[in-house]
A = this chain, B = another copy of it.
Amino acid sequence: MDVTRVELLTIGDELLLGDTVNGNAAWLGRRLADHGVEVTRSVVVGDELDVIIEAVAAALGRADAVITTGGLGPTYDDLTRDALAKAAGVGLVRDPALERRLRDRVARAGRELQPMALRMADVPEGARILTNSAGSAPGLRVELPGGIVYAVPGVPFEMRTIVDEVVLPELAEIAGLPAVARRTLRTAGMWESVVATRLAEVEAMDGVRLAYLPDPSEVKIRITVAGPGAADRLAEVETRVRDLLGTAVYGAEDESLARVVHRVLAERSATVAAAESLTGGLIGAELTATPGSSATFAGGMVTYATEVKHRLLGVPAGLLDEHGAVHPDVAAAMAAGVRDALGATYGLAVTGVAGPDPQDGHPVGTIFIGLAGPGGLRIVTSPRLPVPGPGPETRAVIRRMTVVHALELLRRILLGLDVEDRAGSARADREESG
């Protein structure tokens, strides 16, 4: 059967109640689009058997296939198994292999199996089991008169694993090769509308579509080229986009800024150490999110309290007394201090005001980034951040933007790129905040 229209059905009271944001639906929509499959509708229902059955039937009345997420766990409010069995007019049967798998792992842990956990070994008669290499609850593939239902767990990393390993290849094969080619380029420190203005001519190209996916202080540009020879055309378009954006493009696809920094450091047999104030450890966390990062990340110090900046990093007490912790000279001293303390090639330091309240008379969003390196290299930048305004997310967003600007400063220095660019994009940021 031909599958080109897919609907998503997300199951769980917590989504209707707003306890959880529906990131699964966004991830699936993106993933399916990249494989040339169109998501035509996305529905969220609660943990109610009849409602789930009705929603599956309605979706298959409109689309060729439905992907459901959630309701496959061990607890009483996990009802997707039962709903699919009822919809197919069959019973639930306990799968011996699944039961063995559950019992084996429990036995290896020297534990007794919770009877409720065995619910995860029950499958609708005739359903195909989609192995969950990332957790306990398997996915299910059920053929109903109206079309195919793929049921996957709601736990994001389990959902993603089963979809990538099983569902997408199968759907892509049925749907045929995508008639579109896509590529994502990643930029740091440049305001979204500056990016968009520079790319106006690309926007205007026939069969080319640009989508901007902004993160704090990052913009990802997704280039989609449709029509015959899409792949070849995409290569030309990408080259043009890179020409227009210049050194603001740091990577492509899933290559994070931290990965790029690691790669460039490794190429130079250099290491970096981080001294963090307002980010509290986020720079270290970002740099260690990549396996094997100890080769290029020496370590760091979280000097959140002012006194600790003196104690651990040797920031002159007089400097701290006179100017407080939010000062360019403090950022420079922190960078040099952490570089020496950890014997790293580079020291990267941040200090500033994450909010919600101003500090020492500095408004929220004031940050100083210090970099110390070989040959007496000392640089301090102060990108002005677009403060999102009062709100629970403000502090988190400013901390995130600080991490990006710090890593981007290091990348530019390592690659010998103009750092004054930063001011330009900082002004753009500032403009955006206006």
Contact of A211 among B19, B134, B298, B384 (CB under 8 A): B19
Question: In the complex the two chains form, is B25's CB within 8 Å of A44's CB?
Answer: yes
Report the minimal beta-carbon distance from A30 to chain B, rounded to whole angstroms. Answer: 3
Contact of A390 among B133, B193, B279 (CB under 8 A): B133
Question: In the complex the two chains form, is B302's CB within 8 Å of A302's CB?
Answer: yes
A117 within 8 A of B: yes
A247 within 8 A of B: no
A39 within 8 A of B: yes
A23 within 8 A of B: yes
Contact of A281 among B109, B110, B302, B342 (CB under 8 A): B302
- Indicate the member of A28, A210, A285, A311 with the most B CB atoms within 10 Å: A285
Question: In the complex the two chains form, is A299's CB within 8 Å of B312's CB?
Answer: yes
A213 within 8 A of B: yes
A128-141: CB near B (< 8 Å → 1, else 0) gives 00000111100000
A75-96: CB near B (< 8 Å → 1, else 0) gives 1110000000000000000000
A276 within 8 A of B: yes
CB nearest neighbor in B for A102: B434
Contact of A193 among B117, B156, B184, B433 (CB under 8 A): B117
Question: In the complex the two chains form, is B281's CB within 8 Å of A283's CB?
Answer: yes
**A384–B109 alpha-carbon span in the complex (Å):** 9
Question: In the complex the two chains form, is B289's CB within 8 Å of A396's CB?
Answer: yes
Report the minimal beta-carbon distance from A354 to chain B, rounded to whole angstroms. Answer: 8
Question: In the complex the two chains form, is B18's CB within 8 Å of A311's CB?
Answer: no
Question: In the complex the two chains form, is A16's CB within 8 Å of B42's CB?
Answer: yes
Contact of A111 among B45, B222, B354, B430 (CB under 8 A): B430
Interface size on A, residues (CB 8 A): 133
**A146–B114 alpha-carbon span in the complex (Å):** 47
Report the minimal beta-carbon distance from A128 to chain B, rounded to whole angstroms. Answer: 20
CB nearest neighbor in B for A16: B39
This chain: copies in complex: 2
Q: Return chain B residues, CB-CB under 8 Å to A113.
A: 431, 434
- Indicate the member of A18, A133, A278 with the most B CB atoms within 10 Å: A18
Question: In the complex the two chains form, is B222's CB within 8 Å of A14's CB?
Answer: yes
Q: Return chain B residues, CB-CB under 8 Å to A308.
A: 298-299, 342
Q: Return chain B residues, CB-CB under 8 Å to A399.
A: 285, 289
**A368–B382 alpha-carbon span in the complex (Å):** 39
A343 within 8 A of B: yes
**A43–B308 alpha-carbon span in the complex (Å):** 51
**In the complex where A73-B192, A135-B388, A281-B283 touch, is A21 in contact with B18 (Cβ < 8 A)?**
no
**A33–B27 alpha-carbon span in the complex (Å):** 26
**A242–B114 alpha-carbon span in the complex (Å):** 21
A286-317: CB near B (< 8 Å → 1, else 0) gives 01110101100111111111101001100000
Closest 8 interchain pairs by CB? Answer: A105-B434, A280-B288, A281-B281, A281-B284, A18-B30, A157-B393, A18-B29, A300-B302
Task: Name A residues whose Cβ lies closer than 8 Å to a Cβ of B.
Answer: 12-23, 25-31, 33, 38-47, 51, 55, 73-77, 101-106, 108-111, 113-114, 116-117, 133-136, 155-158, 160-161, 182, 184, 192-194, 196-197, 203, 209-214, 220, 222, 274, 276, 278-285, 287-289, 291, 293-294, 297-306, 308, 311-312, 341-343, 354-357, 384, 386, 388-397, 399, 427-428, 430-434
With A16-B41, A17-B30, A75-B196 known, 9 other A-B pairs at CB within 8 A are A20-B26, A77-B211, A114-B194, A134-B389, A160-B391, A280-B293, A281-B283, A284-B304, A300-B301
